[in-house]
Amino acid sequence: MNTHNYQAFVAQVKQLWKNMSPNEHFEYSFMDEDFDAAYPSEQRTGKLFLSFTTLAVIIACLGLFSLAAYAAEQRNKEIGIRKILGAGVSTTVAMLSKDFIKLVFISIIIATPLAWLIMNNGCRDMPTGKIFSGGCCFRRAQVRLLLPLLPSVHNHSKPHGAILLRV
């Protein structure tokens, strides 16, 4: 079937139908149009959830960034002394990120089973009856564990340790 000229294909099928069953009416529809007509409320709900999820993630990232900035400011002199003594970037980032990784890991332990249950319950009523595996939640958890590292790496790009100790 040529998708660029589907009207010609439908006309051919209609002609074949009339040849085979002249007394029967020929009706056709496209599956994407059927799905659009069948699930308009689910599509609106999906867009609404996507909007609020995006807003929640942005607010959470801003909160995490400010928490990381506050923690780095509280440990300003310690970071300066560690830099003077030769601590590397990875050591400093690990020191700053340890507390955030713990908080994120606890939230993942709480949120992942809840998300899996909600996804399965919501999709059970759909015609496909798709059941989600735990792997999809695990991949998202990996991404959530990487997010706290971004503010820590950003805050590590502060001035040299000797400048920080003058305060």
Mean pLDDT by 10 residues, the chain (167 residues): 76 87 84 79 86 92 83 84 84 79 82 80 68 66 65 50 47
Q: Which amino acid is at 14?
A: K
pLDDT in tens, 42-72: 788 889 989 998 999 899 888 878 887 888 8
CB-based contact 116:132 (threshold 8 Å): yes
- Is residue 148 within 8 A of residue 104, CB to CB? The reply is yes
Q: CA torsion 34→40→43→45, rounded to 10°? A: -160
The torsion angles phi and psi of 128, rounded to 5 degrees, stand at -75, -25
Q: Each residue of 139-165: b (16+ CB within 10 Å) or e?
A: eebeebeeebbebbeebbebeebeebe
Q: Supply the pTM of this predicted model.
A: 0.53
pLDDT tens digits for 111-121? 888 877 877 77
